[in-house]
Structure 1
Amino acid sequence: MMYEQQQHARIDVRKRMEKKGSIKEERLEIVDLSGMSLEAVPISPSLNLGTICNLDLSNNNIQSIPESLIARLLNMVVFDVHSNQLKSLPNSIGCLSKLKVLNVSGNHIEFLPKTIENCRSLEEVNANFNQLSKLPDTIGFELTNLKKLHVNSNKLVFLPSSTSHLTALRVLDARLNCLRLLPDDLENLTNLQVLNVSQNFQYLETLPYSIGLLINLVELDVSYNKIKSLPDSMGCLRKLQKLSVEGNPLSSPPMEVMEQGLHAVREYLSEKMNNAEHKSTAQKKKSWVGKLFRYGTFNGNNNNNNRKLHEDRQGFSIPEYRSIDGLASPRYMGMFSPRRLFSPRTYFSR
């Protein structure tokens, strides 16, 4: 198998730059080596690694990536190595200052190198289906441009507190882990639209009160955990359109309220926040109520009885179990090919 021949057929020269009135061509190449049964990353002396902006090594059997290779990919924007046999990423990944999309899903990676914090242009990280037990402690302080963080189907026990500093984050998917709690101070995630912490099963028992400050949250999935009550502050999530709570031993809100739909749940929680019966906890919640006023999400007794409850029922999910999104999509079909399922290697080892 000649690497240069296959590479020549699968490279696309893309970029043109206009400078001082003249057209200057800059060769930025897309290299696609996916699905070629590679066990190592081929390196051709004739290829200028500095010109690669998109490198796809997905759906192979690669076990390691050379440090020296990554250090020379200085213009890489997209790096896709999903569905391989990687156990770690090289520390030199921190050299990729232009990297925006990193897909390492479907490997056996146990930790992300701390140097990933130097990839400050990162906008999307997909590390689903790995063996991650923790994320770098200070990841949230550095990756301020990160918009999507997918870490489902790992072994995460907690998310670092710095996660609450990912101010550009729009999607956080941490389902199918071993999460015991979420960071207390989520109020900085003002751009978060989708939060999925479902299927942590016997581990996740509570949600932080600050979840009510996620002012742009549209979808929240906390299904199949051990949550007994929803925080009162969730009554202030005005933009919430979809709430999934099935598979939890919920006592608050009661079942009769949940059966009426999302609008009724918000009304119940908002009213509960103001209920005199909870004055014993007022001192604890006083600072949160102040924040809710400041963020403009709390409006006291929100009794808009003229609204039709059925408008919200479409966004509220209790009884139906939903499978993992995208598992059988074309993007992940390589994970379940006959070659992988019946090869000597175990694809998902725990």
Structure 2
Amino acid sequence: MMYEQKEMRVDVRRSPERRRRPMEEERLESVDLSGMCLESLPSPCVNLGIICKLDISNNNLQSIPESLTARLLNLVVFDVHSNQLNCIPNSIGCLSKLKVLNVSGNLLRALPITIENCRSLEELNANFNQLTKLPDTIGFELLNLQQLSVNSNKLLFLPSSTSHLTNLRVLDARLNSLRSLPEDLENLINLEILNVSQNFQYLATLPYSVGLLMSLVELDVSYNKITSLPDSLGCLKKLQKLSVEGNPLVSPPVEVIEQGLHVVKEYLSQKMNGAHKKSPKKKSWIGKLKRYGTFNGGNVTREEREKEGYDIHNYRSIDGLASPSYMGMFSPRRLFSPKTYFTK
């Protein structure tokens, strides 16, 4: 194939800062090679170090050279969707400025572990691949990630480190084979949209911590095998959309669900209160938080707390505990970084 005959579309955009700089400085460029039926990449006609956006989507590429990726040191947006890629180069870890990576619509079975070095990454789209797992440590290093889209894959689980993505706003894991979700989701203090729908016969339960996602606006758990929603969902004050159709739900019952989100939340909240009062078992931590006003704003006197035997004169609400300033004390990089966890 004579690539020199192909038309290379180069969209050059100069930032205001660079317009004010001397003309001899090289400007950052956007290179568009999308939709050209390429089976391999042509020799670059520009210095790879000045490319800030590279679009090679909608081609027939089966691989990307390691050497090429390693030289894209100023790359911010990398779009390789809708190709025939079986893997992403390990040298992706060299792209320290990368903010958007779109690898959807390929044949990927795994993502390279070096992706955790892309610490500026804000958006990762890996939809419509054949992923069976994500890198175990993905949540320990990608602390700037705001959107993680991995729908239409073959994922059995999300790594436990996912719960440390404290800046995450969108998590889309529908159309997989998820058996469960990480237990400590309450760390996702900025999560607004959670979609784990259409895992069909595999996903049967939701962790209680879903009810501690204080920023959650949309929750879609439709078309799974869930029989009971956790009572803690009644605590989601910002929740505006809840999709539960296609589940064999027993709790809440159908007649409650048909009355809308407000009634569902009220039902679950009352159920949580009732379960707390009637349970002969030792009160769980979630029950304690609810009783002392963390969820429902209940007023309990200091004397009552001391009578119960809880020394909580330095009591903080869940909102306070989950604030970014307070959570810094318990950041995953500080407590759970691989450097600490896997020392010999």
Compared CA separation, residues 178 and 281, structure 1 to 2 (3 A): farther
Q: Distance in 1 between matches of 2:129 and 2:249?
A: 31
Matched, 1:6 2:4: no
The 8 Å contact of residues 270 and 300 in structure 1, kept in 2 or not, is answered as no
Q: Distance in 2 between matches of 1:18 and 1:47?
A: 18
Structural mapping, 1:66-145, within 5 Å: 66-145=65-144
Task: Tell me the amino acid that sits aligned with residue 6 of structure 1.
Answer: E
- Partner SS state of residue 53, structure 1: strand
Question: Residue 318 of structure 1 corresponds to which residue in structure 2?
Answer: none
Question: Residue 261 of structure 1 corresponds to which residue in structure 2?
Answer: 260
Compared CA separation, residues 300 and 130, structure 1 to 2 (3 A): farther
Task: Tell me the amino acid that sits aligned with residue 153 of structure 1.
Answer: S
Q: Distance in 2 between matches of 1:221 and 1:279?
A: 31
Q: Distance in 2 between matches of 1:294 and 1:118?
A: 42
The 8 Å contact of residues 138 and 162 in structure 1, kept in 2 or not, is answered as yes
Question: Residue 157 of structure 1 corresponds to which residue in structure 2?
Answer: 156
For residue 285 of structure 2, the aligned residue among 287, 300, 308 is 287
Compared CA separation, residues 169 and 34, structure 1 to 2 (3 A): same
- Superposed CA RMSD in Å reads 2.2
Alpha-carbon offset, residue 5 of structure 1: 6.8
Question: Residue 240 of structure 2 corresponds to which residue in structure 1?
Answer: 241
The 8 Å contact of residues 276 and 287 in structure 2, kept in 1 or not, is answered as no
Q: Distance in 1 between matches of 2:119 and 2:16?
A: 24
Deviations 1:185-225 (CA, angstroms, capped at 9, x unpaired): 00110100000000000000000000000001000000000
The 8 Å contact of residues 16 and 23 in structure 1, kept in 2 or not, is answered as no
Question: Residue 227 of structure 1 corresponds to which residue in structure 2?
Answer: 226
Compared CA separation, residues 295 and 202, structure 1 to 2 (3 A): farther
Deviations 1:223-267 (CA, angstroms, capped at 9, x unpaired): 000000000000000100000000000000011111111010000
The 8 Å contact of residues 213 and 297 in structure 1, kept in 2 or not, is answered as no
Compared CA separation, residues 134 and 257, structure 1 to 2 (3 A): same
Deviations 1:277-306 (CA, angstroms, capped at 9, x unpaired): 7743753x62123456789443459xxxxx
Task: Tell me the amino acid that sits aligned with residue 12 of structure 1.
Answer: V
The 8 Å contact of residues 164 and 187 in structure 1, kept in 2 or not, is answered as yes
Question: Residue 194 of structure 1 corresponds to which residue in structure 2?
Answer: 193
Compared CA separation, residues 107 and 145, structure 1 to 2 (3 A): same
Compared CA separation, residues 291 and 86, structure 1 to 2 (3 A): farther
Compared CA separation, residues 85 and 5, structure 1 to 2 (3 A): closer
- Partner SS state of residue 224, structure 2: coil
| Percent identity over paired residues | 70
Alpha-carbon offset, residue 156 of structure 1: 0.2
Question: Residue 179 of structure 2 corresponds to which residue in structure 1?
Answer: 180
Compared CA separation, residues 2 and 39, structure 1 to 2 (3 A): closer
Deviations 1:34-81 (CA, angstroms, capped at 9, x unpaired): 00000012223x420000000000000000011100000000000000
Deviations 1:120-178 (CA, angstroms, capped at 9, x unpaired): 00000000000000000010010000000000000000000000000000000000000
- Partner SS state of residue 130, structure 1: coil
Deviations 1:12-33 (CA, angstroms, capped at 9, x unpaired): 14235369x8656541010000
- Partner SS state of residue 186, structure 2: coil
Question: Residue 15 of structure 1 corresponds to which residue in structure 2?
Answer: 15
Alpha-carbon offset, residue 95 of structure 1: 0.3
Report the TM-score when normalising by structure 1.
Answer: 0.80
Compared CA separation, residues 6 and 181, structure 1 to 2 (3 A): same
Deviations 1:71-124 (CA, angstroms, capped at 9, x unpaired): 000000000000000011010000000000000000000000000000000000
- Partner SS state of residue 94, structure 1: helix
Report the TM-score when normalising by structure 2.
Answer: 0.81
- Partner SS state of residue 156, structure 1: coil
Compared CA separation, residues 30 and 290, structure 1 to 2 (3 A): farther
Number of residue pairs aligned between Structure 1 and Structure 2: 297
- Partner SS state of residue 17, structure 2: strand
Compared CA separation, residues 278 and 222, structure 1 to 2 (3 A): farther
Task: Tell me the amino acid that sits aligned with residue 46 of structure 2.
Answer: L
Compared CA separation, residues 176 and 239, structure 1 to 2 (3 A): same
